[in-house]
Amino acid sequence: MKNGKFGFGIVGCGVIGPTHANGIVANSDVAELIAVADVDESKAKKMAEDFKCNLYYRDYRDLLKNKDIDIVNICTPSGLHGEVVIEAAKAGKHVIVEKPLEVTLKKCDAAINACRKNNVKMAVIFQRRTFESSKILKKAIEDKRLGKMILGDAYLKYYRSPEYYKSAGWRATWELDGGGALMNQGIHGIDLINWLMGGISSVYAYCETKARDIKVEDTAVVLVRYKNGALGVIEGTTSIFPGLATRFEISGDKGTVVMEEQSFIKWEIQGETEKPDIGKKEKVGGSSDPKAITNVGHAAQIRDMIEAIKNNREPLVNGEEGKKAVKVILAIYESSRRKKEVKISEE
């Protein structure tokens, strides 16, 4: 710690790096950005200047040697997350990892185990879980106010231009992006619907490349069976214009809730006259422009990590929780390849 505040370092100064930096700034009463690192020195230098942290490195291992840094935010290409997690854990640093945790279950497990072995905490960014609307809906489902669960649908329709995919060599590759529209963009909504509904038990999927010159999917449709017996649909794409607000439709035999971004646009439950006061709040952003993602959820998870360290508890979305969405998406890819239903194990 430095000056009574938790010191942060950011590894990766690309598109999402500034969102993490702004989340740290939003917690300036308890957090301070100490240094950043990127293999592209010009990006690291610019971000350090933009956020007035003065220190920047080309090699993240040099950042890890900084004794003023307590927590490392990992914003590298997805397939490099695990490597940085493991090195940070060995250096005694807590880690906040941008989604996805990693692109394979083996790499996810290695990262989780490294943090456990070195007694450091890990949080995975799934900021939609922090939104008040998400928490209200989750509790309503758990309290069985919607009755027996029947359907849980997620519509995750993004737009990413051909130029976006050409902007960085790691994008839309199996090795470093882990997939396409689902693993990069749709994963936020997949995590949320999986969390809200209490877990997905099986998937039957079609993953195709419809519009972009890439080797991974830009469009997917998934039939879902949940552990609670409900059915559902997940639609994910980056190939439609314009991108649309993410939409979640949850229905039981006693009620239906429809949520767009953070706002409830329908809340109808038998016998209830009062509705949650969650109207048009700040948009999550990012459906059409990845740079438009709000930092509110990131700020909330950063503060949650600080509180988790102070109180020696697990972060809101720890490594095991962060792994769940990756597991679902990998099952979706397997289903599409094998053209059959794939069950998702409990392990």
Whether 271 and 339 map to the same domain: the answer is yes
Q: What is the CATH number of the domain that holds 153?
A: 3.30.360.10
Q: Rounded to two decimals, what is the model's pTM?
A: 0.95
Task: Note the pLDDT tens digit of each residue in 204-214.
Answer: 999 999 999 99
Six-digit token string for 126? 């799934």
| Residue ranges making up the domain that contains 36 | 6-127+296-317
Whether 110 and 237 map to the same domain: the answer is no
More confident residue, 342 or 346: 342
In a domain, 177, yes or no: yes
In a domain, 173, yes or no: yes
- With 80 as the cut, is the pLDDT of residue 294 above it? no
Q: Exposure pattern of 143-168 as b/e (b: 16+ CB <10 Å)?
A: eebbeebbbbbbbbbbbbeeebbeee
Number of structural domains the chain divides into: 2
Task: Note the pLDDT tens digit of each residue in 90-124.
Answer: 999 999 999 999 999 999 999 999 999 999 999 99
Whether 108 and 209 map to the same domain: the answer is no
Rg (CA), the chain: 20
In a domain, 120, yes or no: yes
Q: What is the CATH number of the domain that holds 25?
A: 3.40.50.720
Percentage of the chain modeled with pLDDT above 70 = 95
In a domain, 187, yes or no: yes
What is the rounded average pLDDT for all residues in the chain? 95
Closest CA to 234 of 206, 214, 262: 206
